[in-house]
Structure 1
Amino acid sequence: MELAVLNKEGKDTGRKVTLADDIFAIEPNEHALYLDVKQHLANKRQGTHKAKERDEISRTTKKFFRQKGTGNARVGSLKSPVQRGGGTVFGPRPRNYGFKLNKKLKALARRSALAQKAADQNIIVLEALQMDKPNTKSYVQILSALGLQDKKSLLVLGESNKAVYLSSRNFKGSDVLSASELNTYAVMKAQTVILSEDSLEKLETVLR
């Protein structure tokens, strides 16, 4: 698959790049996509939820009323779950929701996500992007030139660039990742993936 390389003004530079078929032209594996996205979201969960159970409630141990003669049902403890302010039955406890996936499956999921974007023609190749200092206005101008100012986008760089990352941080709906940080969730969340020209070789190394 060949794509034109665009510059920061959104114009064709006259150069073309060939995207690797074993990454961008495979049949997407939906189950691998599902598992990788599920793992990403599970790992983000804090798991700090907690409800007090019966043995953790601090209440008086005095009997509520006498056992016989009142016509009421027997009440043994105010800590009982049926009492107002009592303990919770099988309440949530702190836990780790994360789980592991093997490297080959995760790589397959990332290839499948990129292949899906390529099949939908939602991939743009941009010439190498460099910024000396953070500048949100310049970053927004680049997205506007590409027609992506109102869309969720993901910019993939060859190497981490703090200035580019900081420039995008205040712009809602746009994420910036290096090729080595690329994950399936970020690709699937974006409507359009922008691949920096210098990220292509790195992606081929990481995803194979």
Structure 2
Amino acid sequence: MKVAVLDINGKDTGRKAELSKDVFAIEPNNHAVYLDVKQYLANQRQGTHKAKERAEITGSTRKIKKQKGTGTARAGSIKSGLFKGGGRMFGPRPRNYGFKLNKNVKRLARKSALSIKANDKSIVVLEDFNFDAPKTKNFVDVLKALEIDNKKSLFVLGDSNNNVYLSSRNLKGSEVITSSELSTYKIMNANKVVVLEGALEGIESNLSK
């Protein structure tokens, strides 16, 4: 499939970019997308939550009343979770929320996400560009020219470009990554995916394996 290549002023350059059908036009696998996004979000969790349990509470271990004859429930240590100030019963413990996902499933998920965006006409191909120095205003001008300044956008570069990255860093709704950093979550989270010409080859070679 062919897509028009735009310049940073939002004008058609007259050139067409060929998007691989094996990457941008497959039948999307929604379950693979779900699993990959779920793994990405799980990996963001620190898992450092912790509550003190009965054995970790400072307090007496004396039995607070006799076992029988009080007419109330049996009770042991004051550190029981039944009492105020006692330990937490079955409280959270530090854990790793990550889980393994087959690399073929992850590759299928990224191709499915790109195909969904391509089908929705949410992929823009932009000619390679650079800034003389990091300046947020320059990046905002590009967003306005592409009419995506009020939308979440993901810019995919072929190689790391410090000036472009630093120019976008203060903008909450935009993110700049390289083709090797592409993830299903970032693709699906963006309203528009702006792919630079130099990134197409890297994306297709990574996902066509």
Whether these two folds match at TM > 0.5 is: yes
Q: What letter is aligned with 1:139? A: F
TM-score, structure 1 normalization: 0.95
Give the RMSD, CA atoms, in angstroms. 1.4
Aligned residues: 208
SS of 1:26's equivalent in the other structure is: coil
Which residue of structure 2 lines up, in the alignment, with residue 199 of structure 1?
A: 199
Aligned mates of 1:100, 1:63 — CA distance in 2: 47
Q: What letter is aligned with 2:44? A: K
**CA distances 1:62-92 after superposition (whole Å, capped 9, x unpaired):** 4435666765544321111111111111111
Aligned mates of 1:43, 1:205 — CA distance in 2: 26
Q: What letter is aligned with 2:179? A: A
**CA distances 1:128-187 after superposition (whole Å, capped 9, x unpaired):** 022242111000100000000000010000011122111111011111110011000000
Aligned mates of 2:182, 2:102 — CA distance in 1: 16
SS of 1:32's equivalent in the other structure is: helix
Aligned mates of 2:36, 2:17 — CA distance in 1: 28
Question: Does the alignment pair 1:141 with 2:141?
Answer: yes
Aligned mates of 1:107, 1:70 — CA distance in 2: 66
TM-score, structure 2 normalization: 0.94
Mean CA deviation greater in 131-140 or 70-79: 70-79
Aligned mates of 2:194, 2:114 — CA distance in 1: 11
Which residue of structure 2 lines up, in the alignment, with residue 105 of structure 1?
A: 105
TM-aligned CA deviation for residue 61 of structure 1: 2.9
Mean CA deviation greater in 69-78 or 184-193: 69-78
Distance 1:114 1:60, change over 3 A: same
Which residue of structure 2 lines up, in the alignment, with residue 92 of structure 1?
A: 92
Aligned mates of 2:103, 2:63 — CA distance in 1: 59
Distance 1:67 1:202, change over 3 A: closer
SS of 2:38's equivalent in the other structure is: helix
Q: What letter is aligned with 1:26? A: I
Which residue of structure 1 lines up, in the alignment, with residue 53 of structure 2?
A: 53
Which residue of structure 2 lines up, in the alignment, with residue 13 of structure 1?
A: 13
- Give unpaired runs (5+ residues) of structure 1: none
